Amino acid sequence: MEKTLLVFLDFLRQEHNYSHNTIAAYKNDLNQFVHFIQNGQHSDLTDWADVTAVIVNEYVEYMKTQAYASSSVARKVAAVKSLFNFLHARQYISENPTTHIESPRVKKRLPQTLSTADVERLLKAPTEKETPKNLRDTALLTMLYTTGMRVTEVVSLHQKDIDLENNVLYCAGKDDQVRELPFDKLTQTVLTEYLERGRPFLVKNKEETAVFLNHRGQQLTRQGLWLIIKAYAKQANLSASVTPHTLRHSFAAHKLESGADLQEVQQLLGHANISTTQIYTQLSDEEKDKES
């Protein structure tokens, strides 16, 4: 079963050009399904063809009893269905046991955002002292909020991707789709200060081209970015649990509140479907209700 699973993951990588993070998520979810089979009452199963709709339904019900968000359960079930669709299409199995399996309903939760006042407090947190690290963090936090970039997109940014003269950067998003993101004067200023007076003191290898570097002079990691934001959120006395995605959500909600078009925000965020972006209109409507 494991060998066939690797074939499926390679199919996702080669045919769909899924990112490393997406492949890792599929692998984790499907390994969980295999673990359920091999460590339960169906431990004697050794072939995907022996997996029935009853077993898949048992797994779905089991997942519902675990401490997962409904969206996580739906994702895990979708991964299993994708696997069996592939196995059936490639004739590894004669019947697809997931054909009539219904995905769990996802309870839509509104994204957590910060007020503009809280954003200002967060962005000011690293400015108490002008050190290379603080210049980096000021540029990092400001860029996250003023562009709405994802965590991976920010840490993967290289110097060639930034055009300071025209206030625009080129962001490689999901599925390697590059989108052009404009940024404001404030972002231009803090980026320039970091690149001129901060980054030169952090870089150790002249061939390193990543924009944001850690104390070892290497490209900042996703985990490193999360820890930076967590520290400054605490320093700014923000009660909310602030993550890099909180700034992305705040960017989208504040854009719509200020009158930006929904399609414009969709493009800036790099959403494939506008339905993903529409959730921010609910946040905007809530703010208007509070004011009225």
Residues 141 and 54 reside in one and the same domain: no
Look at residue 283 in the predicted model and tell me its pLDDT: 65
The 8-class DSSP code of residue 105 comes to: P
| Residues identified as active-site | 150, 174, 245, 248, 271, 280
CATH of the domain at 263: 1.10.443.10
* Residue 232 and residue 129 share a domain: yes
Statement to judge: residues 141 and 255 lie in one domain:
yes
Residue range 164-181: average pLDDT? 89
Which of the pair, 115 or 289, is modelled with greater confidence? 115
Q: At what angle do helices 53-65 and 20-38 cross, to 10 degrees?
A: 110
- Is 94 part of a structural domain of the chain? no
Is residue 169 assigned to a domain? yes
* Three-state SS at 179: strand
Evaluate if pTM is beyond 0.85.
Answer: no
264 and 150 in a common domain: yes
% of the chain surpassing 90 pLDDT: 66
Cα(140)–Cα(229) distance, integer angstroms: 9
Domain range for residue 242?
Answer: 116-291
pLDDT at 172: 87
Mean pLDDT, the chain, rounded, equals 89
Distance CA 50, CA 95 (A): 10
d(CA 259, CA 192): 29
Contact by Cβ (8 Å): 194, 135: yes
